[in-house]
Amino acid sequence: MAREDYDGGFSSDGLGAAANDPVSVSSQVAQSQPLRAVASTIGQEGADNAIADILTKQEFFDQNNITLTNPYGASPFGVDPSNVDYSGNLSEQQRRDIMDLAYDRYRNPFAEYNIFGDKVGGNTETGEVRYGLASLGSSPTTFLGDVVNVPVPKSSSRSLAEMAPFGLGLLIRMLPQEKRKMIEAGSLPGGIPTAADGRAEYEASKRTGSFLDNIKAALSGAPK
């Protein structure tokens, strides 16, 4: 099941959902630490072919037009971001929390918990980034590279159904394909799967051969 791509982390009082549990917050926030910047082909490279310096919080805000009046940095309907003002809708603390959360996403794309102690689902084993990255009003940029949508590998049953004759397969192929968000990079620290790895996994999930051959193989219990 596709997850809701939302990274919360602030409430009406400017605190996260777990803010009333100091022990929980301290243990969970420990899992929202940035990956070590290593010399590799990850992210943007500097002149010495090593990873470029990670943007400071202010540099990140400046690059994404994020200000205290416009904490999202977004420019709806082509409006100049500097003319967007949320101060009448959100308290100052809420706006600061939104800004801090945006920088947390940039620094910690695979965090399991955000800076407020809320679970945000980053997964270094699958390469799927945390909730909120590259969603509406959120920057797709992380210090490791940009976040892109990658098709989720096809289930065995869907892959077979897409091969069905008489137009049925075509109709099934037209159904929306579930996506996951991964980082576009040459490589990532610790062997974390990249977007390229995700696309390769998706291609490998497609069945080959004829529909009839695959049906016979399924009935006999043989692999596709």
Residue 190 covered by a domain = yes
Convert the pLDDT of each residue in 104-145 to its tens digit.
999 999 999 999 999 999 999 999 999 989 877 678 889 999
DSSP calls for 21-63 = -HHHHHHHHTT--PPP--SSS-SSB-TTSSBPPPPPHHHHHHH
Sign of CA dihedral 191, 196, 202, 208: negative
Strand partners, 149: 181
> Distance between CA atoms of 120 and 105, rounded to whole angstroms?
10
Strand partners, 128: 123
Is-contact 141 105, C-beta < 8 A?
A: no
Mean pLDDT of all residues belonging to the chain: 75
Sign of CA dihedral 173, 176, 180, 181: positive
> Distance between CA atoms of 119 and 163, rounded to whole angstroms?
39
How many independent structural domains does the chain possess? 1
In this predicted structure, the answer to whether residue 7 has a pLDDT above a threshold of 90 is no
Residue 6 covered by a domain = no
Domain extent for 185: 22-34+42-220
Residue 11 covered by a domain = no
Residue 17 covered by a domain = no
The band of 77, judged by pLDDT with boundaries at 50, 70 and 90, is confident
Q: Which of 37, 40, 38, 32 is nearest to 16 (CA)?
A: 32
Q: How is residue 206 written in tokens?
A: 């497609």
Is-contact 207 169, C-beta < 8 A?
A: no
pLDDT of residue 172: 65
Residues of the chain with pLDDT > 90, as a percent, come to: 42
Convert the pLDDT of each residue in 62-74 to its tens digit.
999 999 999 998 7
Residue 47 covered by a domain = yes
> Distance between CA atoms of 81 and 113, rounded to whole angstroms?
29
For the ranges 42-56, 58-72, 182-196, the lowest mean pLDDT is seen at 42-56
In this predicted structure, the answer to whether residue 80 has a pLDDT above a threshold of 70 is yes
Describe the chain by its helix, strand, coil percentages, rounded to 5. Answer: 30, 10, 60
Q: How is residue 108 written in tokens?
A: 């910690």
In this prediction the pTM is 0.68
> Distance between CA atoms of 19 and 23, rounded to whole angstroms?
10
Residue 81 covered by a domain = yes
